[in-house]
C-alpha cells in the first residue's frame, strides 16, 4: 500500500455532548455549499497539491508529477486556466515543494532540485496578474542535500525561506526584500553545530519573522527557535522552546505568526509512554519574548500525532491532531484565545458505532476570523471529504458538511486548505483512482 495512504487511520467516532469549543452533538448532512471538484492534473499521476488564495478570492494550486512541478490558476472573473504551467527548472528531479501567497496575489514557490553534483534549493516568485518570474533563484551555491524547505511572504512582498542540509546538520535561511532582491545568503541560523532538521518559518506584517526546527542534542531531539528582524536580520540567539522537564524526543515543530507579531509554536513530543502535543506562545518586537510556560495541548495515554494549526487575525489559534486510544484513532482540536487562554479539547467527529478511516484535519481562518476544519474519512462505505465550521467565541458548529464523496468506493487524501475573503474556501485532494492507491490525480474544490 502506498505510504501516503497510511495517513488514513481507523478511528471510532464518540458522541459529543455540550456546545462551545467542546462541540455539540454532531449531525452529518449533505450540503450544496461546495462546487463539483475540478481535476487539475488530467492524464498525470500527480500528488501533493497545495492551494493558496489572495484577498480577492483568486486561487493558485501547485503539485508534483513525475518529478516535475506544475501550477494552475483560478480567477474570480474567468475561472480556471485552460492549461497548467510547469514552473520548475528540473533536468533530473524536482520535489519537496512549498508555496506561499499574500492577500495582494504576490507569491513564491520553493523546492529542492536534484542536479548533477547534488541537491539544490530554488525559489520562483509569481504574481496572480503578471504570472511567474522569468527565472528561478538558486538559494544555495553548494549542494544542500536537505529536507523539505519552508517559506512565508507578507503583504509587503517580503519573503523568508528556510531549509536544512544533511551533511552539515545546519538550518539555513534566505530573505527577499522588494526593490532589493534576494540577500547574499544563505545564512546559518541554528548556530549550535548539532543535527537540525525540518525548519518552519513565518513572517508578520512588519517584516519580522520566526523560524523553528527540531534539533538533536545527543540524547533527545528538542524544539528550537530564532528570530528575524527586518532591520538587523537574524539575531543569532537560539532558544530551546520545549520543556526540559519532558524527557522525550520532539517531532516536527511548527510556527504560527499573526500580522501584529504575536503567535505560537507547537510540536509533538514523547512523554513517557504517551505522545503529546505542546505549544508555547510569544510576542515579537525588537526581539522575541516567549511565554514562560509550555502548554500541554493534549492529554492521552496513546500515540498523538498529525498536528496542524492556524491563526486568526485576532490571535485565536486552532490546533488539530489525531490520537490512538488503544483501539482506534480519533480526531480532536483545541483553540487558544489571547484573552482567555486555552479552551477544552473538542472531538471533531463522533459516532461510537463506526470504525472509520480518518486523516488529521486541516484547519484555517479567513481574514474575518471564520474558521474551518477539513478532512477525508471513510464513513461506512462512503469515502468522502468532510468539513466543519468554527466561530470564534462560539466554537464548532453542530453540523458536519459532506464536501465530496469519492467515486467508485476508492479514497483520497486532503492535501491543503486555503481560505479567502468572506469564507471562500479552496481545498486540494489527491484522489486515488486505483485499488492499490498507486495512481493519483490532483483535484480542487471551491466553496460556493
Burial 283-311 (b: 16+ CB within 10 A, else e): ebeeebebeeebbebbebebbbbbbbbbb
Residues 236-253 have pLDDT tens digits of 899 999 998 887 888 889
The CATH number that domain 3-17+66-369 falls under is: 2.130.10
399-405/27-30 β-pairing: parallel
Answer yes or no: is pLDDT of 327 > 90: no
pLDDT band at 397 (very low <50, low <70, confident <90, very high): very high
Q: What is the mean pLDDT of residues 216-240?
A: 90
User: What per-residue confidence (pLDDT) applies to 171?
Assistant: 92
User: What per-residue confidence (pLDDT) applies to 158?
Assistant: 97
Question: CB under 8 Å to 83, separation ≥6 — which residues?
Answer: 72
What DSSP character marks residue 326? S
Domain ranges of the chain: 3-17+66-369
Roughly how many angstroms between the first and final C-alpha of the chain, as a whole number? Answer: 35
Grouping H, G, I as helix, E, B as strand and the rest as coil, residue 380 is coil
Cα separation, 445 vs 404, in Å, equals 8
pLDDT band at 354 (very low <50, low <70, confident <90, very high): very low
User: What per-residue confidence (pLDDT) applies to 435?
Assistant: 56
Q: What is the mean pLDDT of residues 320-344?
A: 88
Q: Which of 182, 172, 171, 175 is nearest to 153 (CA)?
A: 175
User: What per-residue confidence (pLDDT) applies to 420?
Assistant: 95
* 278 φ, ψ (degrees, to nearest 5): -120, 155
User: What per-residue confidence (pLDDT) applies to 7?
Assistant: 34
Q: What is the DSSP string of 246-279?
A: S-S-EEEEEEEE-TTS-EEEEEEEEETTEEEEEE
Instruction: Check if the beta carbon of residue 348 is closer than 8 Å to that of residue 401.
Output: no
Instruction: Check if the beta carbon of residue 185 is closer than 8 Å to that of residue 123.
Output: no
Q: What is the pTM assigned to this prediction?
A: 0.89
Kindly report the average pLDDT of the chain as a whole number.
85
CB atoms within 10 A of CB 184: 8
304-311/317-324 β-pairing: antiparallel
User: What per-residue confidence (pLDDT) applies to 245?
Assistant: 85
Answer yes or no: is pLDDT of 395 > 90: yes
Q: What is the mean pLDDT of residues 343-371?
A: 81
Q: What is the DSSP string of 383-427?
A: EEEEEEEEETTTEE-SEEEEEEEPGGG--EEEEEEEE-GGG-EEE
Residues 26-60 have pLDDT tens digits of 343 445 689 999 999 866 678 899 999 999 999 99
Amino acid at each position: 500500500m502506498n505510504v501516503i495512504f497510511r495517513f488514513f487511520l481507523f478511528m471510532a467516532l464518540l458522541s459529543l455532548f455540550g456546545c462551545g469549543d467542546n462541540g455539540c452533538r454532531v449531525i452529518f448532512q449533505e450540503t450544496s455549499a461546495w462546487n463539483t471538484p475540478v481535476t487539475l492534473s488530467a492524464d498525470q499521476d500527480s500528488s501533493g497539491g497545495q492551494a493558496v488564495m489572495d484577498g480577492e478570492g483568486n486561487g493558485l494550486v501547485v503539485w508534483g508529477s513525475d518529478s516535475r512541478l506544475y501550477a494552475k490558476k483560478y480567477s474570480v472573473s474567468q475561472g480556471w486556466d485552460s492549461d497548467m504551467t510547469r514552473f520548475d527548472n528540473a533536468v533530473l528531479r524536482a520535489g519537496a515543494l512549498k508555496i506561499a501567497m499574500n492577500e495582494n496575489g504576490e507569491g513564491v514557490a520553493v523546492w529542492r532540485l536534484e542536479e548533477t553534483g547534488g541537491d539544490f534549493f530554488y525559489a520562483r516568485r509569481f504574481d496572480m496578474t503578471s504570472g511567474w518570474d522569468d527565472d528561478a533563484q538558486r538559494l544555495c551555491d553548494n549542494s544542500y542535500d536537505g529536507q523539505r524547505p519552508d517559506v512565508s511572504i507578507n503583504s509587503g512582498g517580503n519573503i523568508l525561506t528556510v531549509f536544512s542540509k544533511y551533511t552539515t546538520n545546519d538550518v539555513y535561511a534566505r530573505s527577499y526584500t522588494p526593490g532589493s532582491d534576494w540577500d547574499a545568503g544563505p545564512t546559518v541560523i541554528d548556530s549550535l553545530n548539532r543535527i537540525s532538521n525540518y525548519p518552519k518559518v513565518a513572517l508578520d506584517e512588519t517584516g519580522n519573522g520566526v523560524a523553528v526546527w527540531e534539533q538533536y542534542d545527543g540524547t533527545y531531539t528538542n524544539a528550537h527557535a530564532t528570530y528575524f528582524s527586518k532591520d538587523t536580520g537574524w539575531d543569532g540567539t537560539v532558544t530551546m522552546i520545549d520543556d526540559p522537564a519532558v524527557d522525550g524526543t520532539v517531532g516536527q515543530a511548527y510556527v504560527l505568526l499573526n500580522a501584529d507579531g504575536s503567535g505560537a509554536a507547537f510540536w509533538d513530543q514523547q512523554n513517557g509512554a504517551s505522545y503529546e502535543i505542546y505549544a508555547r506562545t510569544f510576542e515579537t518586537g525588537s526581539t522575541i519574548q516567549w511565554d514562560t510556560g509550555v502548554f500541554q495541548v493534549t492529554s492521552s495515554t496513546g500515540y498523538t500525532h498529525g498536528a496542524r494549526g492556524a491563526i486568526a487575525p485576532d490571535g485565536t489559534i486552532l490546533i488539530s491532531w489525531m490520537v490512538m486510544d488503544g483501539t482506534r484513532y480519533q480526531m480532536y482540536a483545541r483553540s487558544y484565545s489571547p484573552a482567555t487562554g486555552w479552551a477544552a479539547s473538542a472531538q471533531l467527529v463522533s459516532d461510537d458505532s463506526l470504525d472509520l478511516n480518518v486523516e488529521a484535519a486541516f484547519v484555517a481562518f479567513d481574514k474575518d476570523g471564520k474558521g474551518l476544519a477539513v478532512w477525508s474519512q471513510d464513513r461506512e462505505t462512503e469515502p468522502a471529504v468532510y468539513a466543519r465550521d468554527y466561530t470564534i467565541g462560539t466554537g464548532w458548529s453542530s453540523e458536519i458538511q459532506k464536501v465530496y464523496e469519492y467515486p467508485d468506493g476508492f479514497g483520497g487524501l486532503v492535501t491543503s486548505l486555503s481560505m479567502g475573503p468572506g469564507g471562500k474556501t479552496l481545498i486540494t485532494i489527491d484522489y486515488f483512482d486505483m485499488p492499490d492507491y498507486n495512481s493519483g490525480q490532483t483535484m480542487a474544490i471551491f466553496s460556493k
